Amino acid sequence: MPIAKNHPAPAQVPPDKIPAPVFQVGVSKVRWKPMPTSDWGIVMGMRYIWAEHLASWQWQYYIILDPASPSKEWTQADWGWSDDLELLPSHSSSATQFVEEVTKSE
């Protein structure tokens, strides 16, 4: 994918100082910020990569969707940027139950 002309090309390596991730792998239950429908799940991976749309290096999170998430019918997981995600309210237990089921089956 070519880089937009108004953005500098990304450096070959990430910057020396990488900010701490916003969410934790295996712990953070997140949802995409409200839209007409919003998916949710648990963070199961992350990577620090060049975000073309922001013209900067950013954290991107791998989200395993909750069984009750609207998109679960056609996908099991998706990637989300920090700015697109928010923590689920602490009273939400569906994602926790899902992780417990996955770890029991391993």
Q: How far does the chain reach from its first CA to its final CA, in angstroms? A: 37
Residue 81 pairs in a beta bridge with 60
List pLDDT tens digits, range 40-83.
Answer: 999 999 999 988 888 888 999 999 999 999 999 999 999 999 99
Give me the sign of the Cα torsion angle 76, 78, 82, 86. Answer: negative
Strand duo 77-81 + 40-51: pairing: unpaired
pLDDT of residue 86: 93
Whole-model pTM over 0.85: no
pLDDT bin (cut points 50, 70, 90) of residue 102 is very low
pLDDT bin (cut points 50, 70, 90) of residue 11 is low
- Alpha helices of the chain — where are they, by DSSP H? 94-105
pLDDT of residue 75: 93
Q: What angle do CA 66, 70, 72 make, to 5 degrees?
A: 55
Q: Is the pLDDT of residue 106 over 50?
A: no
Q: Is the pLDDT of residue 2 over 80?
A: no
